[in-house]
Amino acid sequence: MQLILFIPVITIDFGWIYWRLDSEARRRGRSHIRFDEGTGELDTFDYYHASAMTLLQFEPSGVKPTSRLMKTLFVIHGAMMLDLVALTLSRAIGLASGG
């Protein structure tokens, strides 16, 4: 149950963080995230998609962090997702062994 509840929350939260930080940087003429060439005009969904891809892959395809801040956030996001899966797995093993 924890896995089902926490994965969408973490995905939405990090998508929102990516969107807020990158959109502010783009207003100033820079960017924290570089998307593939064929994405066209960016909207909020692109950032949530990048966040979801971090869950499914170790390195999101189609998105590259371009600043130290965003690289750090990608690492933290990946570590949180790995930790969540490990905690859920350990809890499942504990329940299966009768503990």
User: Domain ranges in the chain?
Assistant: 2-96
Q: What is the pLDDT of residue 95?
A: 86
Whether pLDDT at 89 is above 80: yes
Q: Is 34 strand, coil or helix?
A: strand
- Share in percent of the chain as helix, strand, coil (round to 5): 70, 5, 20
Note the pLDDT of residue 16.
Answer: 92
B/e letters for 40-49, b = 16+ CB within 10 Å, e = fewer, are: eeeeeebbbb
| pLDDT confidence band for 87 (50 / 70 / 90) | confident
In 3D space, the residue among 44, 43, 48 whose CA is nearest the CA of residue 60 turns out to be 48
Model confidence at 97: pLDDT above 80? yes
* Average pLDDT value over all residues in the chain: 81
